[in-house]
Amino acid sequence: MMFDLSGRVALVTGASRGIGRAIAKRLAGQGATVVAAARGDHAAGTAAELAADGGRAEAVSLDVTDEVAMQRLPGDIVERHGRLDIVISNAGITRDQLLMRMKREDWDLVIATNLTATFSLAQAAMRPMLKQRGGRIIAVSSVVGQAGNAGQTNYAASKAGLIGFAKALAREVASRGITVNVIAPGMIDTEMTRAATEKAQIDWASQIPLGRLGTADDVAAAACFLASDEAAYITGHVLAVNGGIYM
By the 10 Å C-beta count (0-12 exposed, 13-18 middle, 19+ buried), 47 is classed as buried
Residue 51 host element (H or E)? helix 44-52
Separation CA 109–CA 143 (nearest Å): 20
DSSP classification of residue 114: I
Q: Is the dihedral of CA 191, 216, 117, 143 positive or negative?
A: negative
Helices (H) and strands (E) in the chain, counts: 10, 7
What is the rounded CA–CA span in Å between residue 212 and residue 127?
41
| 215 DSSP assignment | -
Residues sharing a CB contact under 8 Å with residue 245, sequence separation 6 or more, in sequence order? 143, 186, 187, 207, 208, 209
Contact 141, 184 (CB under 8 A): yes
Is-catalytic flag, 233?
no
* Cβ(228)–Cβ(3) below 8 Å: yes
The catalytic residue among 3, 107, 155, 165 is: 155
User: Do 33 and 11 meet the contact criterion of CB atoms below 8 Å apart?
Assistant: no
CA distance 103 to 115: 18
Active site members: 155
